[in-house]
Every structure is written in C-alpha cells, then in structure tokens.
Amino acid sequence: MMRKKLFISRNLHAQSPFWELKDRLDIYDTSLLLFKSIPFPQIPSSTWLFFYSQQGVVHFFKQASRKQRMDKKLAAFGPKTALVLAEHAPSTHFVGDGKAESTAAALELVTNGQTILFVRAKRSRRSVQKLLLKKAHPDLVVYDNQAKPAFNVPTCDFLIFTSPLNAKTYFDKYKKAEGQVIFAIGDTTATTLEQLTTGKIWVPPDPSEEALLKLLQKHL
C-alpha cells in the first residue's frame, strides 16, 4: 500500500509537531514564497510595535538598532510570532490569538489609545489595523513576500496552506486533485482558498501547528 503524502506551505522547524507523522506520511514542507528585506531609514514614533508575522520580526530586527527600539512595548499577532520575538527581545507585552477580530479587540483594550506601529509585509492585508477604528495607526513595511518563480510539489493527499499568498501561488500552478483534503491555518487563508478551488476547506479552532495536526489526524 502506497504511503500518503502531506504538503504544508511552510519550512517546518525540527521541533514541529508534524514530524510525529513522519512514519505514517511522506511530508513535503516548503514555503512557496521568497522573502526580501525592505530597508527603512528610521522607525516612526509610537508606544507600541505590533508584529503580524514571524518574517516581520526577522526582517525588522535585522535592520533596527537596539537604540531605535529600546523604548517600545512589543506585541505579536499570535503565539508563533511571539516565540520568534522572544529570540530578539527580553519581553513581549501582548500576544494575540492569531485571529484578526479578537486580536484587534484585545489590542485596543491593552493599548488604551496609545500609538501602535504595525510592522508588516509590503503585501500585508493589514487585517488588524483595519479593525482599529478609534484611531489611525502608522505602519512600517520591512519585507516583501513574492511567489517563487519555479517550484515542484508532488500530488499529495493532504494540502495545508499557511497564508493566502501561498495558497494562490499553489493554485496558480496546480488544480485540486480528486480526493485531496485541504486545510487552512486560519479564516483569512480559508477565504482565499474558497475563491481558488472547490470543496470543503478545513480550519482548526486556533491558528497553530498543534491545532492543524489534531485536525489532520481526524482525516488519517
């Protein structure tokens, strides 16, 4: 009997819970995107720095000096981004749940009218910013994410997409195969997938690898 295959649009860390399945599935883990830093000469004035993504953290701290950021309170969209942030800063003052609406509501309460600088990608959907209606907040573009010009993914039984652009990049090249089960890390990615393909899109209760794994295991 042939082993089933799993594709996930992310380069998995060695500690990723998905490797628990390596004896049951062939796992193809690769991002379909390229990331490039965008230089910024200075950091706009703000009380808070909010990071949408892990890549945002990496590309910001690659360029920002300690002097430029030492007086800021730090916030992360979700737990995974907070983990990367912890590698660069002694403390994180706010961690959202990775969902735009609930994160925006909680962030507005915590910041209480203080200025938030949103660190983001050039193509960011600015999902949290758009929900903060009481005050306009600045942003800082620190990187660009573009589709890889060339890639190959074998036909897999399970597809897991970790961002809208990864989903679009995949379906620009491939069509959904018969019997494939498709997962999205969150609602925004799921909405994009619904526009790109047909059938049920499975979404975990929270946008984490652990929750995705539990959901996937129900289909094995």
**Alpha-carbon dihedral sign for residues 104, 105, 110, 116:** positive
Tokens of 132: 């903060």
pLDDT band at 184; cut points 50, 70, 90: very high
**CA 106 to chain CA centroid, nearest Å:** 19
Element (H, E) at 76: strand 73-76
Share of the chain above pLDDT 90, in %: 82
- Residue 113 DSSP label: T
Q: What whole-number distance in Å separates Cα of residue 59 and Cα of residue 55?
A: 6
Q: Give me the pLDDT at residue 4, please.
A: 96
Q: Give me the pLDDT at residue 207, please.
A: 87
Q: Give me the pLDDT at residue 148, please.
A: 96
Q: Give me the pLDDT at residue 188, please.
A: 86
pLDDT band at 139; cut points 50, 70, 90: very high
- Give the Å distances, CA to CA, from 61 to 49, 114, 117, 125: 12, 22, 14, 22
Nearest 10 degrees: CA dihedral of 124, 131, 63, 47? 170
Q: What whole-number distance in Å separates Cα of residue 141 and Cα of residue 126?
A: 11
Averaged pLDDT for residues 147-158 = 97
- Residues 1-33 pLDDT 10s: 689 999 999 999 899 999 999 999 999 999 999
Q: Give me the pLDDT at residue 66, please.
A: 66
Q: What whole-number distance in Å separates Cα of residue 117 and Cα of residue 114?
A: 10
Q: What are the structural domains of the chain?
A: 4-32+149-217 (3.40.50.10090), 36-146 (3.40.50.10090)
- Residues 61-99 pLDDT 10s: 999 876 666 789 999 999 889 999 999 988 999 999 988
Nearest 10 degrees: CA dihedral of 157, 17, 185, 35? -100
Q: Give me the pLDDT at residue 42, please.
A: 87
Q: What whole-number distance in Å separates Cα of residue 139 and Cα of residue 74?
A: 14
Q: Give me the pLDDT at residue 181, please.
A: 98
In the predicted structure, residue 214 carries a pLDDT above the cut 80 = yes
Residue type, 85: L
Q: 3-class DSSP state for residue 168?
A: helix
Averaged pLDDT for residues 178-200 = 95
